[in-house]
Amino acid sequence: MRCRDCGAVLEEYDEETLGLAVVVLSMFIHLSPDLAAPMLLDIMQSVGSMLIPGNAAGVAKQFLRCMFHQLAPNGILPQLFQSNIKDGCFLRTLASSLIDFNELSSVAALNMLLEGLNNKKSLPAGGTMLHCLDNIATFMEALPMDSPSNLWTTICNQFQTFLAKLPSVLPLKSLLEPFSKLVSFVIQYGVFSLSYLVELCGLCHKTFNKERDKFYMSRIVVMELLQALKFKSPLPDTNLLLLVQFVCADIGTRLAESTIIQKHMISSLPGCSTSAMECMRQYMSELLDFIADMHTLTKLKSHMKACCHPLHEDTFGGNLKVGLAQVAAMEISKGNHRLDNKAVVRYLPWLYHPPSAMQQG
């Protein structure tokens, strides 16, 4: 754009000029959508960058609203979200622009996007799908959490269909492996909700058909617990007790209340089966060895990470051993019923052999 007086190239524009430029772009898209299509992404990002305080911001906001409302039936949302969007703020800007737009709210736009993807015979594959997932996550970060629940119900149903089709187009053999690595990382270094962990493993057990896949997530959690009991993985004390409660919840018992295991936490656990005890059963001898080791408390003090709660080191070790003893006791009592009273002989054979004279003193 040049100055009408001297012909010099303009590098700065006033609010009125910017507003008129957006109006011209809007008319161009409205009258010649076929010619505008190759440039739509650049146009949207350029106009989106104008949403800063000023008169032109209102015009830019209205432009985005009108354009998406006009082109949404033509599938602009799936095409946009499959694109490599270089402007990291654009999708958040778009979501905030549509929040209070009655004709096409940001939540309705997400629903229309998922519906458009689900209506395709097959989802886009490879890098295109990865761009799409990244863009969806960025867009959802800016969505209002106080939207009507009926809208989210529809979106959840759309997500169920979308996620069911997703594994076939991603460059992964299974979603379980990357999810399990994420869960392991969170258990080792982060803070997590026991309720969410139980629900995740329960849904994995319920959803998958193959035996290996059904137990996949629960097995990962149990292995993290066992690695910590062998002092190969120094988990935070909070997470270690939560993993013990994870197994207790599956077998039908619970740890004593403490600053870590609180009453409302236990009562809010989902009632789904995780089969954690099925995964733990083959390691019962190692569990009993940990309980019987007289030096466990000393080893815990030197290996475990610093207490996150006002829980004394000795108290923590005692709570841990009591929780593991509950797991062992429940398994032995249920094993007696299943195996005709052979569980005690299997796990505690020394009970049937009296001590020698030297041992008796």
Backbone CA torsion sign across 326, 242, 270, 267: positive
Please state, in angstroms and rounded to a whole number, the distance separating the CA atoms of residues 57 and 49. Answer: 9
- Residue-level pLDDT at 127: 80
What pLDDT is recorded for position 354?
64
Name the helix (H) or strand (E) containing 5.
none
Whole-number Å distance between alpha carbons of 8 and 216? 67
Helix (H) or strand (E) holding 159: helix 149-165
Look at residue 201 in the predicted model and tell me its pLDDT.
92
Dihedral, CA of residue 203, residue 206, residue 212 and residue 215, to nearest 10: 50
pLDDT at 281: 87
What's the predicted TM-score (pTM) here? 0.59
Q: Where on the phi/psi map is residue 252: left (φ > 0), alpha (ψ -120 to 50), or beta?
A: left
| DSSP H or E run through 217 | helix 216-229
Residue type, 184: S
Which residue matches tokens 């800007």? 93
The DSSP line for 68-116 is HHHHGGGTHHHHHHTS----TTHHHHHHHHHTT-TTS-HHHHHHHHHHH
pLDDT of residue 220: 95
- pLDDT tens for each residue of 275-334: 999 999 888 888 888 888 888 777 777 766 554 454 555 677 778 888 888 888 888 877
Q: Can you tell me which residue has the tokens 């629960």?
A: 218
Which DSSP symbol is given to 312? -
Q: What is the pLDDT along the chain (361 residues), one digit of tens a residue?
A: 566 677 666 566 666 666 677 777 777 777 777 777 777 777 777 776 665 555 556 677 777 777 788 878 888 888 888 888 888 788 888 888 888 788 888 888 898 999 998 988 888 877 888 888 899 988 888 887 776 667 788 888 898 888 888 877 776 667 788 889 989 999 998 888 888 999 999 988 988 888 888 999 999 999 999 998 888 887 888 888 899 989 988 888 887 776 667 666 777 788 788 999 999 988 888 888 888 888 877 777 776 655 445 455 567 777 888 888 888 888 887 765 655 566 666 666 666 666 665 555 5
pLDDT at residue 10, as a whole number: 59
Angle, alpha carbons 163-164-166 (nearest 5°): 60
